[in-house]
Structures are given as structure tokens and as C-alpha cells.
């Protein structure tokens, strides 16, 4: 049984298509590593409490042969399993996702900029923005059997 309030992908297919197109670009042309993308998506989904997306991105990391220690991304700060680049991306994910807590701190911005080029920083921010949009759609309107064939 699905948990759907509204079949938003059928009601507003053009908008959902555009979101899918952005996600496709980010997944295939952003220059960001698929593992990094999945870690960021999983961390944002955990922060947002989107159970459906947590499941999707956990499975994605398992398919990428990631270890349980690395998939346990909620504990990334206390783990040595992540590279400096991944740590910068995860930190950026937290401050961009939790933007209601204030503007992104300069120290976190400087950390991400030390690890990512300008275009990578923009693309990483778009990845975080996009997963936050998917999370909010799923949480607010529900998810179907495959969330409208999102991926």
C-alpha cells in the first residue's frame, strides 16, 4: 500500500519533468562523483526525515558497494570513513538543508570552496536543493510505489 495524498507527478507533470531533468543533469553532467551524490542525498533525506528517500539512497550506496560504516552518514562527524572532500560536502549539505537556522556560515563555505571548484560548488548546492525538493514533495504529498518514476 502506498502513502499518497496526491499523485503530484500526474497533476503537474511538466514541473516534475523539469525537476527530473535537473536531477538527470546533476547525476550525469555535474562532474560530481556518484558516491558523493548519494551520500549528500542520504544525509539531506535523514535531516528532513524522508523515510522513502532514505531507503532509496541507502540502496543506491549499497549498489555502489559502500560499507555500512559509510552508509551510516548521520554519524559522519565522528567517523574517519569519509574523505576531506566528502566531509566538506556533508557539512555543506547540513547548513544548506537547515537554512532556517540562519545563513550558511562563512567557515563552512570556505571549507567547501577549498575542496570544490566554483562550478562544483554550484552543482553541489543544486544537488542539495534538488533532494530537499524531492524530500518535501514526498513528505507533504506522499510517495507512490516509485514516487512517480522519479529516478
Please check whether residue 39 is in contact with residue 86, taking contact to mean a CB–CB distance below 8 angstroms: yes
* Per-residue pLDDT at 114: 98
Q: What is the DSSP string of 109-125?
A: HHHHHHHS-HHHHHHHH
Coil, helix or strand for 81?
coil
* Per-residue pLDDT at 6: 87
* Per-residue pLDDT at 34: 97
Radius of gyration of the chain (CA): 15
d(CA 32, CA 55): 21
Indicate left, alpha or beta for 144 from its phi (over 0: left) and psi (-120 to 50: alpha). beta
Domains of the chain in sequence order: 8-143 (1.20.1290.10)
How would you write the pLDDT of the chain (151 residues) with one tens digit per residue?
357 888 888 889 999 999 999 999 999 999 999 999 999 999 999 999 999 899 999 999 999 999 999 999 999 999 999 999 999 999 999 999 998 877 899 999 999 999 999 999 999 999 999 999 999 999 999 875 454 444 4
CA 142 to each of CA 1, 128, 130: distance values in angstroms, whole numbers, following the listed order: 12, 20, 17
Q: Is residue 151 within a helix (H) or strand (E), and if so which, with residue range?
A: none
* Per-residue pLDDT at 144: 54
pTM metric for this prediction: 0.90
Q: Is residue 42 within a helix (H) or strand (E), and if so which, with residue range?
A: helix 34-48
Extract the runs of DSSP E, i.e. beta strands, from 3-127. Answer: 3-4
Amino acid at each position: 500500500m502506498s502513502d499518497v495524498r496526491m499523485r503530484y507527478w500526474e497533476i503537474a507533470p511538466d514541473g516534475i519533468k523539469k525537476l527530473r531533468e535537473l536531477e538527470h543533469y546533476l547525476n550525469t553532467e555535474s562532474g560530481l562523483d556518484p558516491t558523493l551524490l548519494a551520500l549528500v542525498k542520504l544525509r539531506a533525506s535523514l535531516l528532513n526525515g524522508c523515510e522513502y528517500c532514505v531507503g532509496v539512497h541507502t540502496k543506491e550506496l549499497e549498489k555502489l558497494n559502500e560499507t555500512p560504516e559509510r552508509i551510516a552518514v548521520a554519524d559522519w562527524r565522528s567517523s574517519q570513513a569519509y574523505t576531506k572532500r566528502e566531509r566538506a560536502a556533508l557539512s555543506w549539505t547540513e547548513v544548506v538543508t537547515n537554512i532556517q537556522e540562519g545563513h550558511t556560515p562563512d567557515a563552512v563555505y570556505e571549507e567547501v570552496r577549498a575542496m570544490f571548484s566554483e562550478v562544483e560548488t554550484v552543482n553541489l548546492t543544486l544537488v542539495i536543493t534538488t533532494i530537499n525538493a524531492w524530500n518535501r514533495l514526498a513528505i507533504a504529498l506522499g510517495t507512490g510505489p516509485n514516487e512517480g518514476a522519479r529516478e
